[in-house]
Amino acid sequence: MAGVLRLVLGDQLSREMSSLRDCTKSQDKILLAEVREEATYVKHHKKKIVLLFSAMRHFAKELSDDGYDVIYRRYDDDNNQGSLLNEVKHACSQHSFDKVVVTFPGEYRVLKSMQQWQHQLGIPVEICDDDRFIATLEQFSEWAEGRKQWRMEYFYREMRKLTRLLMEGDKPIGGKWNYDQDNRKSLPADVSPPKPYTVSPDDMTSQVIELVETEFADHMGDAKDFNYAVTRDEALKVLEQFIEQRFNEFGDYQDAMREGNVWLFHSHLSFYLNCGLLLPMEVMQAAEQAYFDGDAPLNAVEGFIRQILGWREYVRGFYWHCMPGLQQENYFNHQRKLPDFYWSGHTNMNCMRQCIGDTKRHAYAHHIQRLMVIGNFSLLAGLSVEAVNEWYLLVYADAFEWVEMPNVSGMILFADGGNLASKPYVASGQYINRMSDYCKNCGYAVSKKTGKNACPFNYLYWDFLIKHRDKLSKNHRMGLIYKSLDRMSQDTVDAMQEQAEQLLSAIDNA
């Protein structure tokens, strides 16, 4: 027997990966490679690259220490082949293999490439299912076929029944499937979230930081203050700290925002779930156990499980079911370039300054910052769907296309016309004011729709609704909003449209 070459991708850093199942230490080789093609097809945030490269190196060392035969290619190795395919080709030229085994990737373009490998390599290539996910792609497609509308809530209920999480017989614990209405409190000034779990870089991570600062100097962010987990043991400690210190308040304040505090009561586990250091089921079971132990209320536990079992599973199925068409969708035909402040964070809108600043510093912002501040502005300003997708993919350390594109094209930009979301997630400045303290230190007045210091979110919001009335007014969830618009004086409407045009022209001409 010649053995098997088992390729492990940078978001598949788990012993439980299907590509490693039945691995024979004496015959098989495991390949991990830091390659230019994957690191630079968009200019990923420096902290994202550090996280993945360091986690890959630590995972490879753990496998080697356990007796596995690992081929590891560092980014700056003299014989680095530059792409996954070329690294596989190189390994096959150096050793004899019966076949190549890899787990299903997280991006459509990578899958399309892998499906050609067998022909290009001249040996069998087996692409195994990624069974870290609860629902198979076939299960999602079967659920979606024949439905007039796809809605996460109903898919989520099926997943609850399948996994038995938070279930009593065939009924949800507490009598309700969803406690979203109990997840929307603003954060009182006297409530202080605990500090996040941090890890001091070891020698291996320090080497990666130095590499990234040198090789990716023109990418967003700073790698030098990196302090995220890069091993499974460390990621498990992040989970443990979340359960012990944050989970009790997570449900109430998961939608809240506070100036100068990006972490709040969130888990920050998406980094580790999406690269494989943690597995979804073990995380959800830990959350469920906290409820049974009386350590977290139901609105926190259900809300957390819904993010993983509902939303995470749903967007993954949605992505693969809708590709490649999803990447071409542009329901409103939005084409505007991104403003410079998406990169610098320099803007008089304090909410945008805070959220982009958090993103730039940490390669992280929580879901409401992404959706209802940065995403809200992106849609109201008519920014290019392609450009916004690229920005979200590169700036966040937990972003891989399977999770990024449905959230951006479907939920944030409504570019698919409503397949994923039932209405556009747009709001005036009043929503941001209600859920944050950002407006207190802003150069604009959130109370004003028009005038010199009016909040741009206010007049952009109404301008967006006016521009797209033909497409949105028949949406049953938009009816009350358009009735409010119709009650406004024509002078107010004209003033808002004029001010919106001035701002948008400034972006175009910058």
CB 185 within 8 A of CB 252: yes
- The neighbouring-strand residues paired with 125 are 100
Distance CA 421, CA 424 (A): 7
Whole-prediction pTM value?
0.97
pLDDT of residue 192: 95
Cis peptide before 324 (omega within 30 of 0): yes
At 16 the three-state DSSP class reads coil
The pLDDT value recorded for residue 181 is 85
CATH of 4-128, one of 3.40.50.11540, 3.40.50.620, 3.40.50.300, 3.40.190.10: 3.40.50.620
Q: Which fold has domain 137-314?
A: 1.25.40
| Kind of pairing between the strands at 125-128 and 171-172 | unpaired
Residue 111's pLDDT is 98
Domain segments of the chain: what residues?
4-128, 137-314, 341-509
The confidence score (pLDDT) of residue 148 equals: 84
Classify residue 288 by burial, with Cβ atoms within 10 Å: 0-12, 13-18, 19+. buried
Low pLDDT (below 50) residues in the chain: none
Whole-number pLDDT of residue 9: 98
Enter the tokens of residue 144: 């979606």
* Nearest Cα to Cα of residue 435 among 177, 259, 316, 174: 259
3-state secondary structure at position 313 = helix
CA dihedral angle for residue 377, residue 379, residue 384, residue 386, rounded to 10 degrees:
100
pLDDT value of residue 1: 62
Q: Which fold has domain 341-509?
A: DNA Cyclobutane Dipyrimidine Photolyase, subunit A; domain 3 (1.10.579)
Give the angle subtended at the CA of 273 by the CAs of 233 and 276, to the nearest 5°.
65
Q: What is the pLDDT of residue 510?
A: 85
Predicted pLDDT at 127: 98
